Structure 1
Amino acid sequence: MRQAADLPTPFPLARGVPGVLLDAGALGDLLAAFDQVLAPALATIDNIDAYLDPDLTPADFLGWLAGWLGIAVDDRWPAEHVRRVLRHTPELLRWRGTVRGVLAAVRVLAEVEAEVIDSGGTQWSPRPYGIPPGSRAPLLRVRVPRDADLRAVEAAVRGAKPAHVPHRIETG
């Protein structure tokens, strides 16, 4: 790994100072020290597009990138899983709060296929004054395989469903 001292700066500060001042003492050494300190920041700024790409960003930056997008990262996840989650983040955010969004979140974050049953939380009847089917109370039921990581499923569902809707996770 390259050290900060090895990074060349694309804009040496000494270029902007008249040569007569560089020969007159320690100013050249001071500017070189500033160049050494600023080189990592300039390299980061010059490569900001790579930091925003989940496939190119350094592993130690993945948590920051996920945080900017509102994705909670589990510390136990390997870097490749975090990268996969970040690649799917546009889909997760687009469908957040819907059955489709809960299904996608469980599939991507918990890595299991689920079945989501939404009570709808509304009632209606096709006939005037008819008995409405369904339930007024909203409820989201999520069925996952027995071997699913329930903690990961719980976190995925909580992040994807509307906050006011209670949920229940079932195995089977």
Structure 2
Amino acid sequence: MRRAVEGLATPYPIGTLLPAVFQEDPVAMRWTGALDEVLAPAISTLDCLAAYTDPMLAPADFVRWLAGWLGAVLDENWPLERQRAAVAHCVRLYRLRGTVEGLRALVELATGGEVELAENGGVRWSTAPNTPLPGEAGAWLSVRVTVPRGATVDVVALGELIAAEKPAHVPHGLEVVER
């Protein structure tokens, strides 16, 4: 007979939970032993559930499922460690979404490089009416990414990522340079 998962035993054999009269019956013990083999993978999964929901510990194929569960879109070309980091940081990135710091963190995560952002905006308040607005009249955003020598960055995909994260009315420029 072939086991459901070779070598996987249950830590809670059903036969030991039966009354003594059934524990002495070989048919009952074989029957519960068969159930133990079928249920062992489910019990093991439930015992390890915390590891499945931690993107740094989860099996590789489960990381993409976690990303979908959290609403994160992963680039399948990224190495597994970068995908794990993206899932691990996606909640923090959602909190920062729409901010300069959020865009910086996202681009750093996507490229593994150092990101410099420049923009025209600013915030000011005044108690006097008709105070001039800060910044320039036209909105703009400049993104400069410095990556290690020899690193490959898909500039088109990075530009699309930035376009999706920045305000729609703000044009942006992108520059990727090597150290």
- TM-score, normalised via structure 2 length: 0.69
1:8–1:16 distance in 2 versus 1, CA, 3 Å: same
Q: Distance in 2 between matches of 1:26 and 1:158?
A: 66
User: Where does residue 35 of structure 1 map in the other structure?
Assistant: 36
Q: Distance in 1 between matches of 2:72 and 2:154?
A: 18
- SS of the aligned residue for 1:114 comes to strand
User: Where does residue 95 of structure 1 map in the other structure?
Assistant: 96
Supply the AA of the counterpart residue of 2:47: D
Residues 1-172 of structure 1: pairs in structure 2 closer than 5 A? 4-21=5-22, 26-89=27-90, 91-120=92-121, 128-129=129-130, 132-134=133-135, 140-144=141-145, 148-154=153-159, 156-157=161-162, 160-161=165-166, 166-171=170-175
1:20–1:5 distance in 2 versus 1, CA, 3 Å: farther
Supply the AA of the counterpart residue of 2:174: E
1:83–1:14 distance in 2 versus 1, CA, 3 Å: same
Structure 1 runs of 4+ with >6 Å offset: 121-127
Judge conservation of contact 1:121–1:137 (CA < 8 Å) in 2.
Answer: no
In the alignment, structure 2 segments of 5+ residues that lack a partner are none
* Deviation string, structure 1 residues 122-165 (Cα, Å, up to 9, x no partner): 89889743554546776544334696422442454356546x55
1:152–1:107 distance in 2 versus 1, CA, 3 Å: farther
Q: Distance in 2 between matches of 1:86 and 1:50?
A: 14
Aligned-residue sequence identity (percent) comes to 38
Judge conservation of contact 1:63–1:73 (CA < 8 Å) in 2.
Answer: yes
Q: Distance in 1 between matches of 2:129 and 2:43?
A: 69
Judge conservation of contact 2:16–2:23 (CA < 8 Å) in 1.
Answer: no
Q: Alpha carbon RMSD of aligned pairs, Å?
A: 3.7
Judge conservation of contact 1:121–1:139 (CA < 8 Å) in 2.
Answer: no
Supply the AA of the counterpart residue of 2:18: V
- SS of the aligned residue for 1:54 comes to coil
User: Post-superposition shift, 1:31?
Assistant: 2.2
* Deviation string, structure 1 residues 49-82 (Cα, Å, up to 9, x no partner): 2223333222222212333333211112221222
Supply the AA of the counterpart residue of 2:155: L
Q: Distance in 2 between matches of 1:138 and 1:38?
A: 60
Q: Which moved more, 1:19-28 or 1:97-106?
A: 19-28
Q: Which moved more, 1:150-159 or 1:90-99?
A: 150-159
Judge conservation of contact 2:52–2:59 (CA < 8 Å) in 1.
Answer: yes
1:124–1:5 distance in 2 versus 1, CA, 3 Å: same
